[in-house]
Amino acid sequence: MKEIKLNHYVDTVIYSIDMIIKNLKTKLKHRIDKLNLGITGEQFVVLDTVSYYDNIYPQKLSEIMLKDKSNTTRMIQILVDKGLIIKEVGKVNNRLVYQLKITPEGKKLVEDNMPKIKKYITEIFANIPDEEIELLHKMSRQFETALSNNIKN
């Protein structure tokens, strides 16, 4: 690999990726908030993640969401109180943990609103050719693999 000419952090690909992610998350959460679902955009993302990962436990959810445990625990409790998810005792690596499951009401909320969210996401990327989006996916996986290998070393 050739030497990276780095004068400032804001000149790095890391900064560019971080800005893209922050802007996308902010815009998506605001758009979800405008749907008036009775939960915040961030809570909807948690609900959708629980619907995707059957029997996920809170620590794993925190890792996936890139959130600290206390923030995740607070959002889980809000969704439990609203009857959108339930906590059941289960085992992970022979340890008792709470596993999260989406309720029928939670599933309906996700299913009824995901088409609107998909439409919005499609609008965001409408002017970017499919090949470039696929290239971004491929490069993201390469970055993730390189970072994982680097962490192990």
Question: What are the pLDDT digits (tens) for 41-98?
Answer: 889 999 999 999 988 999 999 999 888 999 999 999 999 999 999 999 987 788 888 8
Residues 6+ apart with CB under 8 A from 9: 15
CA distance 132 to 136: 6
Q: Is residue 112 part of a domain?
A: yes
Contact partners, residue 152, CB within 8 Å, separation at least 6: none
Q: Residue 1: pLDDT above 60?
A: no
Is 105 contained in some domain? yes
Among 10-14, 69-73, 123-127, 135-139, the least confident range:
10-14
Q: Are 58 and 73 in contact (CB under 8 A)?
A: yes
Tokens of 149: 């290998």
**Is there a domain that residue 150 lies in?**
no
Domain that holds residue 81: 9-120
87 found inside a domain:
yes
Q: What is the mean pLDDT of residues 92-119?
A: 92
Domain contains 100: yes
Q: What is the CATH number of the domain that holds 33?
A: 1.10.10.10
pLDDT band at 151 (very low <50, low <70, confident <90, very high): low
- Our count of domains for the chain comes to 1
Query: 152 pLDDT exceeds 80?
Result: no
For 33, counting Cβ atoms within 10 Å of its Cβ (0-12 exposed, 13-18 middle, 19+ buried), the class is middle
